[in-house]
């Protein structure tokens, strides 16, 4: 069963997690252990419950059954340790506010009630914008950003949270090549800094290149582990139910480049 | 014109009405900005219509027509109506707009039934409650204005106090929730502030038109700026401007209703803003397009 609080507790532990929207199970009896310091992709077909899984870990959706532990504790006790990058389409980018303002929102949790962001928060936000290559956009109105820039602003907002665990929902969705490179670099920096990063990911082809850990999900957890062990044709076929084409032969370490059918 | 200005400061009735209209404009314009930004513009309509049975019940229960009593009744009913809308959306598959439509008309229907019942009673001291339907600015007294200022002031203070939290709620509530802020409680706080803004104006503008003063100043203000603070300040200013202009215009002729004129002034501000605001305005757009076309045309001739 669940390990009680120890120094070795996994960053994320999920047990028997079931989530349903109106009678329909979106996640069914999911068990998951995410080890410290991994760069993990969650992949699976549309409607597999990828987004729901990270939202359930963050306590954003009601769960029917099951338990989530962050570093062995309930989320409410360790909130500061977790940062979230939502899908960029989840907010109204015509909201009247600036890039700097959005990034500073990442400090709101540490600030607590009523206290306003000041010089220190401003500096942290500017540093984070520097990291994502958006320093010059600090004063820009957010409606003037491209999709890739919006994504980088959201990443910067998570960076200023200075968390230990990062949960990201489709950060590569519809971004330009520059942004994709920036994000990949950023993910690696986070891993080198000992952070644990979980990314909902759509593009199977880039999984072996970008990530070292992967969870295959289709309502149930199909498999979870190191990419070389889990990202195999057999397990992928089971995840995608046969709607999948493989490009070329599996390479030496057994991983494959694959394209899922029916994806956008 | 000088006479009007003179009256605005020295005519007791006009001064009181204008002051009340200014307060109501500031409060509803300011707090309405959040409703507009959160795409809940019609929430104001639901709150004001839902307030009607509260006014009638407050009178039936206490027998008093004191504005504070009636406003309190309005606030409780408006607040309950809104919580019901939020509850229906959360616990059923009914969407926000449908829930709004249902609750709004049910509460308003009950309100009309109660008003008719009160009017048909033997003791005919009741007359006057129907002023809450379309508003009756002329009956407003200095003490009403004090009540409005106190209620509105508290609402604005709370808004300033929770500025950062309300911004988070309006822009990205899910992210706010992951930071540990109780988003549902903040939602209820903001809705309560909006309820206060609306009941403050009911006596002057009435339940039917009140939602226009929640939406119009905010929509007008949005056209001129891309900064939240400035937008909210401008919306308050536009609300006040519409309130005072409406009051002054209605004083120029007999039988011109103040409430509807305030709403018309607010609508005029929206129209002007939609046309002439830089960046977002229609005229500005057209000018820019013409400039671009001409430039492309010229370049097209240079480059064969």
User: Tens digit of pLDDT for each residue in B34-52?
Assistant: 999 999 888 999 999 999 9
pLDDT band, very low/low/confident/very high, at B137 (cuts 50, 70, 90): confident
CA B170 to chain A, closest CA, distance in angstroms equals: 9
Q: Which residue out of B35, B41, B92, B178 would a mutagenesis test of the A interface target, given it has the greatest number of A Cβ atoms within 10 Å?
A: B178
Gap from A226 CA to chain B (nearest CA, Å): 28
**Predicted pLDDT of residue A3:** 45
Contact A91 B171 (CB under 8 A): yes
Cα–chain center distance at A13: 15
Contacts of B222 in chain A (CB under 8 A): 96
Q: Are strands A220-226 and A213-218 parallel, antiparallel or unpaired?
A: antiparallel
User: Rounded distance, CA B214 to CA B211, Å?
Assistant: 5
Altogether, the residues listed in chain A come to a count of 264
B contact test, residue of A68, A91, A97 with most B CBs within 10 A = A97
B164, B174, B231 member nearest A116 (Cβ): B164
Tokens of A156: 């910067």
How does pLDDT run across A58-101, given as a tens digit for each residue? 999 999 999 999 999 999 999 999 999 999 999 999 999 999 99
| CA-based nearest distance A56→chain B, Å | 11
pLDDT greater at residue A248 or residue B172: B172
Interchain CB distance below 8 Å, B175 and A86: yes
**Measured between CB atoms, which of A22, A60, A95 is closest to B178?**
A60
Per-residue pLDDT tens digits for A185-206: 999 999 999 999 999 998 999 9
* A–B interface: beta-carbon pairs under 8 A: 77
User: A257-260 and A244-247 as β-strands: parallel, antiparallel, unpaired?
Assistant: antiparallel
SS (H, E, C) chain A: CCCCCCCCCCCEEEEEEEEEECCEEEEEEEEEEECCCCEEEEECCCCCCHHHHHHHHCCCCCCCEEEEEECCECHHHCHHHEEEECCHHHCCCCCCCEHHHHHHHHHHHHHCCCCCCCHHHHHHHHHHHHHCCCHHHCCCEHHHCCHHHHHHHHHHHHHCCCCCEEEEECCCCCCCHHHHHHHHHHHHHHHHCCCEEEEECCCHHHHHHHCCEEEEEECEEEEEEEHHHHCCHHHHHHHHCCCEEEECCCCCCCCCEEEECCCC
For chain B, give the percent of residues with pLDDT over 90.
61
pLDDT tens digit sequence for B94-132: 999 999 999 999 999 999 999 888 888 756 555 578 788
What is the distance between the alpha carbons of residues A180 and A184, in angstroms, rounded to a whole number? Answer: 6
Chain A nearest-CA distance from B253, in A, is 40
Q: What's this model's pTM, rounded to 2 decimal places?
A: 0.89
How close B180 gets to chain A, by Cα (Å)? 7
- Alpha-carbon distance B199 to nearest alpha carbon in chain A (angstroms): 27
Q: Residue A60: which of B170, B177, B227 has the nearest Cβ?
A: B177
The answer to whether B174 contacts A90, with C-beta atoms less than 8 Å apart, is: yes
The whole-angstrom distance between B39's CA and the closest CA on chain A is 10
Looking at beta carbons, which residues of chain B come within 8 Å of A96? 37, 222, 225-228, 230-231
Which pLDDT score is estimated for B297? 73
Average pLDDT over residues B7-35: 90
The H or E element that residue B89 is part of is helix B67-91
pLDDT digits (tens, 9 = 90+) for A126-150: 999 999 999 999 999 999 999 999 9
Mean pLDDT value of segment A43-59:
94
Q: Strands A24-34 and A12-21: what pairing?
A: antiparallel
Mean pLDDT of A2-24: 79
Residues B126/B59, Cβ–Cβ less than 8 Å = yes
User: Looking at chain B from residue 84 to 123, which residues have their Cβ under 8 Å from any Cβ of chain A?
Assistant: 93
Distances (CA, A) of B2 to A134, B7, B9, B242: 55, 9, 11, 19
Q: What average pLDDT does the structure give for chain B?
A: 89
3-state DSSP assignment of residue B69: helix
Residue owning tokens 């309509």: B45
**Could you tell me if B81 and B50 are in contact, meaning their C-beta atoms sit under 8 angstroms apart?**
yes
Q: What is the model's pLDDT at position B177?
A: 96
Interface contact A108-B176, CB threshold 8 A? yes
Cα distance between residue B285 and residue B32, in whole Å: 27
Q: Which residues contact B144 (CB under 8 A, 6 or more apart)?
A: B20, B67, B203
Q: B280 in contact with A at a CB cutoff of 8 Å?
A: no
| CA neighbor of A96 nearest in space, from B229, B97, B302 | B229
Given CB atoms, is B174 within the 8 Å cutoff of chain A? yes
Coil vs helix vs strand at B85: helix
pLDDT at B263: 93
Asked whether the beta carbons of residue A108 and residue B164 sit closer than 8 angstroms, the reply is yes
Please tell me the predicted confidence (pLDDT) of residue B288.
86
Query: In whole angstroms, what separates CA B75 from the centre of its chain?
Result: 14
pLDDT band at B7 (very low <50, low <70, confident <90, very high): confident
Neighbours of B127 (CB within 10 A): 10
Residues from A in contact with B at Cβ < 8 Å: 22, 55, 58-60, 76, 79, 82-84, 86, 90-92, 95-98, 101-102, 105, 108-109, 111, 113-117, 141, 143, 157
With CA atoms as reference, the chain B residue closest to A114 would be B162
B222 shares contact with chain A (CB less than 8 Å): yes
Are the C-beta atoms of residues B258 and B250 closer than 8 Å to each other?
yes
Pair of tokens at residue B134: 């379309």
Q: Cα distance from B172 to chain A (closest Cα, Å)? A: 6
Asked if the Cβ–Cβ distance from A59 to B177 is below 8 Å, we say: yes
Tell me the C-alpha distance between A117 and A101, whole Å. 9
Separation between Cα atoms, residue A48 and residue A204, nearest integer Å: 14
Please, which pLDDT band fits residue B254 given cuts at 50, 70 and 90? confident
Lowest mean pLDDT among A4-18, B192-206, B235-249, B255-269: A4-18
Are residues A170 and A202 in contact, defined by beta-carbon separation less than 8 angstroms? yes
Contacts of A192 (CB under 8 A, 6+ apart): none
Distances (CA, A) of A169 to A46, A85, A155, A241: 13, 6, 11, 23
Instruction: Return mean pLDDT, chain A.
Output: 89
């Amino acid at each position: 069963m669940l390990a009680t609080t120890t120094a070795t507790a996994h960053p994320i532990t999920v047990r028997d997690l079931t989530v349903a929207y109106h009678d329909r199970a979106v996640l069914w009896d999911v068990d998951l252990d995410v080890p410290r310091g991994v760069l993990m992709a969650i992949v699976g077909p549309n409607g597999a419950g990828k987004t729901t899984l990270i939202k359930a870990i963050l306590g954003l959706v009601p769960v029917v059954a099951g338990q989530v532990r962050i570093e062995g504790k309930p989320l409410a006790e360790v909130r500061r340790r977790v940062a979230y990058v939502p899908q960029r389409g989840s907010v109204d980018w015509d909201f009247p506010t600036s890039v700097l303002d959005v990034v500073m929102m990442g400090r709101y949790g540490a600030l607590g009630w009523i206290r306003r962001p000041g010089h220190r928060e401003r500096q942290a936000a500017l540093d984070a914008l520097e990291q994502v290559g958006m320093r010059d956009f600090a004063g820009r109105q957010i409606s003037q950003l491209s999709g890739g820039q919006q994504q980088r602003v959201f990443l910067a907002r998570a960076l200023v949270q200075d968390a230990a665990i990062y949960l990201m929902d489709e950060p590569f969705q519809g971004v330009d090549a520059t942004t994709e490179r920036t994000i990949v670099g950023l993910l690696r920096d986070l891993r080198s800094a000992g952070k644990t990063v979980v990314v909902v990911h759509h593009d199977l082809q880039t999984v072996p290149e970008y990530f070292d850990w992967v969870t295959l999900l289709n309502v149930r957890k199909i498999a979870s582990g190191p990419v070389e062990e889990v990202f195999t044709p057999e397990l992928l076929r089971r995840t995608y139910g046969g709607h999948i084409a493989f490009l070329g032969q599996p390479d030496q370490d057994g991983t494959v480049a694959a394209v899922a059918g029916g994806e956008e | 014109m000088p006479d009007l200005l003179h009256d605005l400061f020295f005519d007791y009735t006009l001064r009181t009405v204008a002051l009340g209209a200014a307060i109501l404009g500031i409060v509803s314009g300011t707090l309405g900005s959040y409703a507009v930004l959160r795409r809940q513009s019609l929430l104001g309509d639901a709150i004001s219509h839902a307030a009607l049975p509260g006014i009638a019940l407050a009178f039936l229960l206490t027998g008093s027509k004191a504005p504070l009593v009636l406003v309190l009744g309005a606030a409780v009913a408006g607040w309950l109506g809104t919580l019901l809308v939020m509850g229906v959306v959360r616990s059923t598959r009914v969407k926000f707009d449908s829930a709004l439509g249902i609750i709004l008309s049910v509460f308003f229907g009950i309100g009309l039934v109660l008003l008719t019942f009160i009017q048909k009673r033997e003791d005919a001291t009741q007359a006057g409650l129907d002023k809450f339907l379309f508003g009756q600015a002329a009956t407003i007294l200095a003490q009403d204005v004090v009540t409005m200022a106190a209620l509105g002031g508290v609402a604005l203070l709370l808004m300033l106090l929770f500025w950062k939290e309300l911004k988070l709620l309006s822009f990205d509530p899910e992210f706010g929730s992951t930071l540990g802020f109780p988003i549902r409680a903040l939602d209820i706080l903001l809705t309560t502030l909006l309820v206060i803004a609306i009941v403050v104006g009911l006596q002057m503008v009435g339940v039917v038109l009140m939602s226009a003063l929640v939406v119009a100043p905010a929509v007008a203000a949005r056209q001129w700026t891309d900064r939240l603070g400035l937008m909210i300040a401008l919306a308050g200013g536009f609300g006040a401007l519409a309130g005072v202009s409406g009051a002054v215009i209605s004083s120029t002729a007999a039988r011109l209703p103040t409430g509807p004129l305030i709403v018309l002034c607010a609508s005029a501000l929206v129209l002007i803003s939609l046309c002439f605001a830089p960046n977002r305005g229609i005229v500005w757009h057209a000018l820019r397009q013409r400039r671009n076309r001409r430039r492309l045309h010229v370049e097209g001739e240079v480059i064969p």
